[in-house]
Amino acid sequence: MFVRVKSTPKSPRKTVQIVESVRDGDKVKQRIVRYVGVAADDFELEKLKDLAEHIKARIEHEKTPFLFPPEEMAEMAIASRKQAEKDKEAIHVNLKELKEEQRSIIGIHEIYGQVYQELGFDSVLPNRRNKRPAQLLKHIVMARIANPSSKRRAVMNLERDFGISLNLHHVYRMMDKINDEAVERLQKSSFQTTQDLLGGKVDVIFVDATTLYFESFHEDDFKKNGYSKDLKFNQPQVLFALMVTKEGLPLGYEAFPGSTYEGNVLLPLLERVKKRFAIDKVIFVADSGLLNNNNLTLLERAGYEYIIGARLRNLSKQMQQKILNRKSYTTSDESTQFLELEHIKNRRLVVSYCPKRAKKDAHDREKAMNTLLSKLKTTHNPKQFISNHRYKKFIQIEGEFEISLNEETLC
């Protein structure tokens, strides 16, 4: 991106523009990013060029943040231009003659590599005699920080961007060394660092689980088909649970076979955490996927505290009527209304109502309903609706082919 001055034929007026070069096939063309203005004389021209440098610096800073403030970068560009004009040494470059001879990217190994070492990750793979596996692991981690990709692509990126040549076969053999003991060392090191940052005390753990699928259609004892959050139901996956502190610092993770129900990981995960780390108090905060009476009863018997999302539709009719009675709500300073109810013995149900959120949800439902009604007018193929998770909860199918709107789900 650069500042361009264009002269007007048969006129002293000059136009100042901000222009960038874009590639169109084999050709490089110039696209106008911003018209800055028209100068009637040399004084106005200088002022418009200075203004253009400031505008250009702000645009570039929004795309790729500078190390220095955009105003300072603009002043540096203005000073450089004026010095070049003064010395009459302006450089003219033919873009078509430019070619890349060498690329050097610095910062990843220097900064993240130092953090990697301070976290103790360089000792994940023992290097009693052969330090090469530990070095390979570090290079692959650095490559994935710079540009997440496959191991094959990471090896190519290391060669291209960092000048580091690795043997892909050696990388695969290094991955075989990351066994349960290596993972245990990794998690202990991560947890110890987190404890040190928090003054040696961790009392709140946030846990969430997701599914990671494989580009494969063959199951084994660990990779299994199950409910896929990526909607890849025909591909094997694993269930991955991540634990972090309230500050977002990682504590560890656990992986389960892909066919495992998310609600069934709660207690095994908790027991493993208690066994691995000396944690005095654990408060589990989770979504409604973990809400079932068996899990809650087990948590209560073990003496654990928890905050878990509830599905209001699963509550009794009597409880739903109390929730829908807006007169019993209390209003906070932010206009959000709250209601606290005794759910079951030793369990509290806290309900909130936000008018802004209710308005948004009503708009989203109306938008989905209008879209669905339009589709119902044009097609009656059940596959068009069942395969779309946005629509299928709003429809009902009668018989084999009769599709209609389920108005109860809109309430």
Tell me the per-residue pLDDT of 365-394, one tens digit each, with 9 for 90 and over.
888 778 777 777 776 665 555 555 555 556
Secondary structure class of 383 (helix, strand, coil): helix
DSSP assignments along 87-107, one per residue? HT------GGG---------S
* Over residues 99-128, mean pLDDT: 82
Q: What is the pLDDT of residue 186?
A: 86
Higher pLDDT among residues 256 and 83, named by residue:
256
Judge whether residue 329 has pLDDT over 90.
no
Q: What is the pLDDT of residue 296?
A: 80
Judge whether residue 89 has pLDDT over 60.
no
Residues with Cβ within 8 Å of residue 37, at least 6 apart in sequence: 15, 16, 44, 48, 51
Higher pLDDT among residues 277 and 248, named by residue:
248
* Over residues 12-39, mean pLDDT: 87
Please tell me the pTM assigned to this model: 0.52
Residues 47-56 have pLDDT tens digits of 999 999 999 9
Residues 182-192 have pLDDT tens digits of 888 888 888 88
Task: With residue 331 as reference, give the H or E element that holds it.
Answer: strand 330-331
* Over residues 100-124, mean pLDDT: 83
- Tell me how far apart the alpha carbons of residues 260 and 167 are, in angstroms, rounded to a whole number: 36
CB half-sphere exposure, 396, CA atoms < 13 A: 7
* Over residues 253-278, mean pLDDT: 77
Judge whether residue 208 has pLDDT over 90.
no
Structure-token match 């908790």, residue found: 270
* Over residues 288-317, mean pLDDT: 77
Residues with Cβ within 8 Å of residue 75, at least 6 apart in sequence: none
Q: Are 336 and 354 in contact (CB under 8 A)?
A: yes
Residues 129-157 have pLDDT tens digits of 778 889 999 999 999 998 888 899 999 99
Q: Can you name the residues that pair with 353 across neighbouring β-strands?
A: 337
Q: Are 157 and 147 in contact (CB under 8 A)?
A: yes
Mean of the per-residue pLDDT values of the chain: 80
Judge whether residue 346 has pLDDT over 90.
no
* Over residues 308-313, mean pLDDT: 80
CB half-sphere exposure, 238, CA atoms < 13 A: 12
* Over residues 310-329, mean pLDDT: 82
* Over residues 93-121, mean pLDDT: 80
Q: How confident is the model at residue 91 (pLDDT cuts 50, 70, 90)?
A: low
- Tell me how far apart the alpha carbons of residues 146 and 161 are, in angstroms, rounded to a whole number: 10
Q: What is the pLDDT of residue 179?
A: 87
DSSP assignments along 119-154, one per residue? TTGGGSS--SS--HHHHHHHHHHHHHHHS---HHHH
Q: What is the pLDDT of residue 155?
A: 93
Q: Are 21 and 30 in contact (CB under 8 A)?
A: yes
* Over residues 261-268, mean pLDDT: 74
Top-level class of domain 202-309: alpha beta
Higher pLDDT among residues 238 and 373, named by residue:
238
Q: What is the pLDDT of residue 141?
A: 93
* Over residues 194-208, mean pLDDT: 74
Q: What is the pLDDT of residue 238?
A: 92
- Tell me how far apart the alpha carbons of residues 179 and 173 are, in angstroms, rounded to a whole number: 12
- Tell me how far apart the alpha carbons of residues 66 and 269 are, in angstroms, rounded to a whole number: 43
Which of 22-31, 46-55, 110-119, 399-408 shows the lowest mean pLDDT across its residues? 399-408
- Tell me how far apart the alpha carbons of residues 312 and 334 are, in angstroms, rounded to a whole number: 23
Q: What is the pLDDT of residue 310?
A: 80
Secondary structure class of 319 (helix, strand, coil): helix
Judge whether residue 20 has pLDDT over 60.
yes
Q: At what angle do helices 266-276 and 180-197 cross, to 10 degrees?
A: 70
| Domain residue limits, the chain | 2-97, 108-178, 202-309, 357-410
Q: How confident is the model at residue 402 (pLDDT cuts 50, 70, 90)?
A: low
Which of 47-56, 65-74, 235-244 shows the lowest mean pLDDT across its residues? 65-74
